[in-house]
Structure 1
Amino acid sequence: MKTIAIEEHFLCAEVRAAWAAAASAGQDTSASLHLGEMQDRLEELSEERLARMDESGVDVQVLSLTSPGLHHLAAAEAVSLARRTNDLIAATIARHPERFDGFATIPTTAPAEAVRELERCVLELGMKGGMLFGRTMEKNLDHADFWPIFEMAAHLRVPLFIHPQTPPRAVREAYYSGFDPQVDLAFATFGLGWHYDCGIQFVRLALAGVFDRFPDLQIILGHWGEVVLFYAERLKAFSRVTKLQRPVVDTMRENLYVTPSGMFSQSNFQHAVEVVGIDRVLFSTDYPYQYRPGGGPRNFLAQLPVSDDDKAKIAHANWERLTGSMRR
């Protein structure tokens, strides 16, 4: 059965250098998570990556720049880096067109250029959507500056993936500090902070009326919905105070896709299906962060307590349907 993994990351030396130069701003503390062996795996886009894909049973990786993307770089630098990074993705796909696809890298600190770059990536480079990382500097994702990006994605009929990034410094200090530096970093990132921060960005989009304005816009969240799926019952209560055209939970069922990001939990899978439905579950391994030898991705799909037809939906068919109507 064909498997398409949609949250599979890479990093290039130019972006890594730009992050290092901007590190003094303190916007994102996660760069140290990409060092050593992890850095090598992120930057390798050829035979070693293909071999690990084969070992895991992954036929296609949809490549995306890793967190925090270009969201905290100066506008001119972000625009230039976005074009070069997207050209690198396109060149990688051209070398192995049966094995790779891509999400556009979006320079959100330059919103007008971000719109043009998303359009270029889809119409000229054939990418299947865009990768966002929540906040840009101090602006949440629902800020009016970014609505043209949502409008373009809806027009192109491509999804936007919202990936976690590290919470703001004030939040880290208030909630994720007080231990040794390594524990603080883990707590603020993969331990918990990333996922609350990302889920909040999606809820903000809904509360701001983004999906009322762009009812066909499709969003993807990793890690089984970045916490918010587990609060679907509580999110229903927003209907008492909002004037949205649809309840937030209905938006989740009509505008949201979720993917495991290598968290191969059957209980999380079953809850996701209860909230958004089997047709809105996609497959991903969160390479290279969750990579473990032994064929875990293949085994997870094989062991799901659903029909072969539903396994095929998760493995590839839902993604192919989602991206099958994109403008070309």
Structure 2
Amino acid sequence: MARAQRVIGVEEHTWTADLRDALLRFGGDDTVNLLSSREQTDHRLREVGEERLARMDAAGVDMQVLSITTPGTQPLPAAEAVPLARDANDFLAETVKAHPDRFAALATLPTPDPPAAARELERSVTELGLVGAQVVPLTGERYLDHESFRPVFEAAAALDVPLYIHPGQPLRTVRDASYGGFDDWTNLNLATGGWGWHVDAGLAALRLILAGTFDRHPALQIILGRWGEMLVPFADRADLLSEGNKTLQRRVIEYITGNLHVTPGGVLSHRLLTLAVDVLGPGRVMYGDDDPYNGMKGRFGGAGGARAFVDTAPLSAEDKANLGHRNAERLLGL
């Protein structure tokens, strides 16, 4: 059996105690209250030393591309978000510096202040050596395609770094209308990891396409977890939006296949991998385990699970290497 030379996990999370405390104080995302702030999860998020390295070794992961867990600093007031994002990115840079062969990192951005977010992206890349940024779909009630966020995308394009769109909670009105009516846990899970997160993240990427983001920045690249957050698997139908469209320079499916990359984001499914490769090609799929949440581990959850997922993928030896590490190396400059 052909084996990947390396395995790089592209969606792997951490945070700082100060950011956790601010999110709990200001609210805005129930997953922080009910999931990430639990003692064991909080510890695993903040720990970026020997325990994490041991967990990586056990799974067969050679490198993690760290990012601040959802929702980052995006639900916070701008006056809080800007310094906390800066501190978090300094923390990421220090973590990478301590283990440069095991970690890289994506910046978190204070999108409540878009010009400051653009400046922080530039600082994170040019001064700290981070390899891109992670954002969530919403800041308040504004999706990423809102014109106020254009400085962020201009900065990413100028720096030639990708943006990873990670799910965040849908709008409260949407949660109440579409994901409510059950017990509290079911409501939360339906609105987040069970369904709503992924609809919203895919929608955020689709809105960027329709808003002309990739016409303004043709080379800009976006990453989505969960094999494309419902957008990539539904690409053929989403292309219906091309019909009669007088503003876009390309068909919708051309943006999907030319400006998007995907990871499993912890959903270790060869069936969904095969679909993503069919839509995007083997050069746009990368491994990602959603550590420390571990996603939907399935039969790949034991020792060596990450490497086993790559090694047993229904791909050629070359494309297993692409999935395992080469695509991440090319896109992120690792």
- TM-score category by the smaller chain? over 0.9
Q: Does the 8 Å contact 2:145/2:213 carry over to 1?
A: yes
SS at 2:164 equivalent: strand
- Alignment partners' CA distance in 2, 1:303 and 1:177: 39
**1:308 pairs with 293, 299, 317, which one?**
317
- What SS does the corresponding residue of 1:71 show, helix, strand or coil? coil
Of 256, 259, 267, the match for 1:255: 259
- Say whether residues 1:323 and 2:332 are aligned partners: yes
Q: Which whole-Å deviations, capped at 9, do the CAs of 1:113-133 have from their partners, x for residues lacking one? A: 111110011111111101101
Distance 1:238 1:54 in 2: 44
TM-align CA RMSD: 1.1
Match of 2:281 in 1: 277
Distance in 2, Cα, partners of 1:87 & 1:316: 25
Deviation at 1:82, TM superposition (A): 0.7
Runs of 4+ aligned structure 1 residues displaced above 6 Å come to none
Shift of 1:45: 0.9
1:13 matches 2:17: yes
**Residue identity opposite 1:208 in structure 2:** A
Residue 146 (structure 2) aligns with: 143
TM-superposition CA deviations, 1:166-213 (whole Å, max 9, x none): 111111110111111111111111110100011000000001111111
Question: Which of 50, 53, 60 pairs up with 2:53?
Answer: 50
Shift of 1:30: 1.0
| Contact 2:156-2:220 within 8 A present in 1 as well | yes
Residue 35 (structure 2) aligns with: 33
For structure 1, the residue ranges without an aligned partner over 5 or more in a row are none
* CA apart distance, 1:6: 0.7
In 1, are the aligned partners of 2:163 and 2:221 still within 8 Å (CA)? yes
Shift of 1:241: 2.8
Cα distance in structure 2, aligned partners of 1:294 and 1:318: 24
**Residue equivalent to 2:96:** 93
1:295 Cα deviation from its structure 2 partner: 2.1
2:307 matched to which residue of 1? 298
* Structure 1 residue 78, shift from structure 2 partner: 0.6
Q: CA deviation at 1:312?
A: 0.8
Residue equivalent to 1:132: 135
Following the alignment from structure 1 to structure 2, what is the Cα–Cα distance between the partners of residues 134 and 142? 9
TM-score by length of 1: 0.96
**How many pairs does the alignment contain?**
322
Q: CA deviation at 1:109?
A: 0.5
Matches within 5 A, 1:144-163: 144-163=147-166
How far, CA to CA, are the matches of 1:286 and 1:241 in structure 2?
Answer: 39
Report the Cα offset of residue 240 of structure 1.
1.2
Q: Contact 2:8 / 2:325 at 8 angstroms: preserved in 1?
A: yes
Specify the SS of the correspondent of 2:234: helix
Deviation, 1:59, is 0.6
Question: In structure 2, the residue corresponding to 1:228 is in which secondary structure?
Answer: coil
**One-letter amino acid of the structure 1 residue matched with residue 267 of structure 2:** M
Give the conservation status (yes or no) of the 8 Å contact 2:270–2:313: yes
Say which SS state the counterpart of residue 177 (structure 1) adopts.
Answer: coil
Q: What secondary structure does 2:232 align onto?
A: helix
The answer as to whether partners of 1:199 and 1:226 remain within 8 angstroms in 2 is: yes
Q: Give yes or no for contact 1:93–1:99 (8 Å, CA) kept in 2.
A: yes
SS of residue paired to 1:5: strand
Question: 1:305, CA displacement in angstroms?
Answer: 1.5
Asked if the contact 2:224/2:260 (under 8 Å) is kept, the reply is: yes
Tell me the amino acid that sits aligned with residue 283 of structure 1: Y
* Letter of the structure 2 residue corresponding to residue 276 of structure 1: L
Task: For residue 237 of structure 1, report the CA deviation from its aligned partner.
Answer: 1.1
Q: How far has the Cα of 1:238 moved from its partner?
A: 1.0
The answer for the alignment partner of 1:264 in structure 2 is: 268
Structure 2: gaps (5+ residues): 296-300
Query: 1:147-181 deviations in whole A, cap 9, x for unaligned?
Result: 11111111111000000001111111101111111
In the TM superposition, what are the counterparts of 1:207-226 in structure 2 within 5 Å? 207-226=210-229
Distance 1:206 1:93 in 2: 33
User: CA shift at 1:36, angstroms?
Assistant: 2.6
Q: Aligned to 1:321, what secondary structure does the other structure show?
A: helix
**8 Å contact from structure 2 (residues 274, 314) kept in 1:** no
- How far, CA to CA, are the matches of 2:243 and 2:97 in structure 1? 51
